[in-house]
Amino acid sequence: MTRTAEVKRKTAETDIALTIGLDGEGKYAVESPAPFLNHMLELFAKHGLFDLTVRASGDSDIDLHHTVEDIGICLGDAVDKALGDKAGIKRYGTSTVPMDEALATAVVDLSGRPFLVYEVEFGSERSGSLTSSYSRSSSSPFRCTPAPTSISSCTTARTPTTWPRPASRPSRGRCRTPSA
């Protein structure tokens, strides 16, 4: 069984084509007017071992909101279509990932009853061209498809600006203590 899906969405504000292969190799080709969102989708594909193609354009000269939201809608629809009757999968999944100064946890329940708990604080209002509020905007449409109930949280130990940086970086993977 090949678990793939393609979704196209064209509105007055956006034009999106998205394909996903759930049993992929982590290959991706993502193009949208939001570079940080592109980066996040690429990481989603790479680390989830999904094959993902996104081609999106939108009224980014006005605001990125519609593009971000509609990509989330397309992604949710595509995952739901690719899952089909959900035969052979587990209903629940969870992952906790340490990422530099943060500890991120995601819990997903493919119950068919959409709901979102989103407990994430950001150290700054913007990341590139996106405001931090867009993070929730892209998650909300994804969970509004028939697929998941999801709970996301992120604990920040320190903000990146206060994170201590080593005086010298290790070379070739060997850890060294800087000399005094």
Which carries the bigger pLDDT value, residue 27 or residue 1?
27
Query: Is pLDDT of 178 > 80?
Result: no
Please give the Cα distance from 150 to 19 (Å, whole number).
22
Which carries the bigger pLDDT value, residue 5 or residue 39?
5
Domains of the chain: 4-156 (3.30.230.40)
Query: Is pLDDT of 90 > 90?
Result: no
Query: Is pLDDT of 180 > 50?
Result: no
Provide the whole-model pTM: 0.73
Q: Is 68 helix (H, G, I), strand (E, B) or coil?
A: helix
pLDDT in tens, 50-60: 999 999 998 87
pLDDT in tens, 3-12: 999 999 999 9
